Structure 1
Amino acid sequence: MKLLLAEDEAKLGRLLVHKLKKEFHKVDWVMDGQSALDYAMAEVYDVVILDWMMPELTGEEVCTALRKEGCGVSILMLTARDSVDDRIVGLDSGADDYVVKPFDFNELFARIRALARRSVKTFQEDIIRVGSLELNRTAHSLQVFEEHVLLTYKEYQLLEFLMANAGRVLTREQLIDRIWGFDADVSNNNLDALVKLTRKKLKDAKADKAIQSIRNVGYQIG
């Protein structure tokens, strides 16, 4: 599994990374909330582990932001707060599970495995296929001719919207609104750059479908 760990306590972070890697997991470790949000938006993870109290953004704020962006990754919250009200706040922000510090490492690892299993069952039920492209909407992953293609989160958002509307032309305004939000300070150049990077990945994977430019309108696939 590929995990993102956001923990600002250096000693605990190093210990968790060591133990998780011994469990044969790949781990990216960050020490503040903004970095956690950036990593989770840019990469595809099986489980994201968020400490509640971190610099820049709290775990709750990161979780809320990810869910607002439509990110469906499984999220496990770590916190010293053990009241029922605190647990409710964490779960209502979009977390899937909640572990109170200090915790038993074996229990933590079991909860991570459970979240991953739960995700796998969901992944199998939510797939879009267009030609050789197979997009897993819950895993945020793409396969071309059964080969995995690594996407950033925005590349995934672009392909999901285009594939869900295969054969239909989507305007630049629709795409920018869907990917960045209607009030974002984003230009057509940002969209064109994203399309260019995504096209290259499809071409490198020898996909039988491509993102087509519709002059003065937008893009389509299919």
Structure 2
Amino acid sequence: MPAILPGQTDIYALTDSRLSLGRPLAVVAGALLDAGVRILQYREKHFKAGKMLEECRLLRRLTEKAGACFIVNDHIDIAMLVGADGVHIGQEDLPVPEVRRLVGPDMLIGLSTHSPEQAVAAVNAGADYIGVGPIFATRTKEDVVDPVGYGYLDWVARNIDLPFVAIGGIKAHNIAEVAGHGARCCALVSELVGARDIPARVEAVRTAMREGLDR
């Protein structure tokens, strides 16, 4: 089954064990997938490689069963070992063409971008999709850049044909406005994994996003 791209689904969920209210990864991921989330990225910045490999193998099994797309953040080796659908990298990671040499033609490569120049470079380098943000200030990453606001999001929606996902501080209360600026797929971390009732929060986010898209 072809991997699902941003734009083909609305919610792009990221893991974060520190925000998951002490619940095991299997519980959190299972709730997200059962609620209809179809892109799940594994992003854990504080684990050793062995634990990340174990958890990614678990997520690969869960996402395959759910028919969802599984993305690994940064760790190209782990993405390859578990047969992930894609890997997501940042501006300071290996260049996209070098990542492509490693992962082959079929694995998705997502690249975080923060400016029009970076978006154009991502297209030219052969990225499959780009991250656009951070839209708002966020504390889920320690090395985060300054918020780009709606200006960059508007520019990408008008000028870039590549699939993209908006990310950074997006919550149920502001996702309608983000969608109204052209984001058909939004990435969320704490808003989803930190919710006590994950399915209810996914539905609330979806409803708000649809309202923004219909404006």
TM-score (norm 1): 0.30
- Which structure has more relative contact order (CA 8 Å, sep 6+)? It is 2
Give the structure with the higher percent strand: 1
Larger radius of gyration: 1
